[in-house]
Amino acid sequence: MSNDCNSSMNRTRLQWLDALRGFTMLMVVTNHVYGMGFVADTKQSMFMSLCLLFRMPLFFFISGFLAYKAHFEWNSTETGRLIAKKLRVQVVPTLVFMTAFVALTYKARYFWEKLGEAWQSATKDGYWFTLVLLQMFLVYYALCGICSLWKRSEKGARASRVTLTDGSLIFLFILSLCAYATLYMPSWFSWQKDEFWQVTSLTEFVRFFHFFLFGNLVHRFWPQVQKLFDSTWFFPLLIALAFVCAGDYLKWHHLRLQWANLPRTVSMYALVMIIVAFFRNYSRWFSKETRLGATLQYMGVRTLDIYLLHYFFLPKLPDVGKWFKAHPQNFMLEGTSAIAVALLVVAFCILTSHILRVSPFLKKWLFGRENTSLTLNT
């Protein structure tokens, strides 16, 4: 692994990566517009079903990718500061906005009841993402800290291409995949039904942690991954895997029961890598010099703002959902209509964010940043 390449990547921000994060946030809002705004079943929509395969995996992939800091000093002081910062950025805003959303959604006499129900559910009325991502960061920081202490205790340790941390992360990635597989084996494993796993949202942690680790490993071995992207066979292989596995999961259904999760998972990884390869290959489209790139990057550095606020602005358009139910298989219309409304929702989120940011206090405690560049993962 080339540390020089990784340090160069960290010094020079990859603009296409910010654009990719903005695209992923747009897909999250688009899905919520279709499901909550149009009041339509996303499983009945081919467009939304396809998006569901990659939107959250891609988000956690990017989070894991950005979590890798090539030259960070994993001592108790620096690690403690990093943890404190993450706690402030991802807990306080989530608590405030989730409480406000419940208060505005339900009548006053049901407030405490609905707030309790939200906390007892794994998805927290939609506000599970920041809490689960925090859990992932804490596990990752703990592993990096332990590996750093172990390396410092070894005198005269020889350098290798795969470090102790790299090897530990690969092992943890394999374990996380095994734990993830148990979610789809209800006849063999029932731990996810326990109330503790629901209240803590650890079911969602297990569902997506392997994507976080995968993104981190891709960053660590970025030179090798780029060689794969530039090879003649890798991208066609990804396309073939995505087509066959997504086709089987969404349409053909050759595999049944827990085995149906196998093509689903392979298609998720293939689609994530296809999208990453696309944004990297056409990075000039996503630079700040282009309107598309500037727009997506603007959204990409404000993902926390959009995520926290977008539930407040989802329109209720059930007639649109009824139309799509009566006229299924409108892949293009479903996608363009949901994306168009999602862009309006994002615009209102950013406007509201700017209004709230007028106050330095709200800017710090509602959005977790004292500077103007605000993201979930930096």
Residues 137, 208: Cα–Cα separation, whole Å: 13
pLDDT at res. 209: 98
Q: What is the rounded distance in angstroms from the CA atom of residue 106 to the CA atom of residue 114?
A: 8
The SS3 of residue 147 is: helix
Helices (runs of H) and strands (runs of E) counted in the chain: 18, 0
pTM of the model: 0.92
CA–CA dist 15, 199 (Å, integer): 37
- What distance in Å separates the CA atoms of residue 302 and residue 109, rounded to the nearest whole number? 34
Grouping H, G, I as helix, E, B as strand and the rest as coil, residue 288 is coil
- Tell me the domain boundaries of the chain: 3-367
For residue 2, the model assigns a pLDDT of 43
Joined together, the tokens standing for residue 303 give 């993902």
Residues 91 and 87: their CA atoms lie apart, in Å, by 5
Tokens 């209509």 identify what position?
A: 337
The answer to whether the beta carbons of residues 18 and 300 sit under 8 Å apart is yes
Tell me the pLDDT tens digit for each residue of 269-313.
Answer: 999 999 999 999 999 999 999 999 999 999 999 999 999 999 999
* pLDDT of the residue at 227: 96
Sites in the chain below the pLDDT cut of 70: 1-13, 152-162, 371-378
Query: In this structure, how many other beta carbons lie within 10 angstroms of the beta carbon of residue 313?
Result: 19
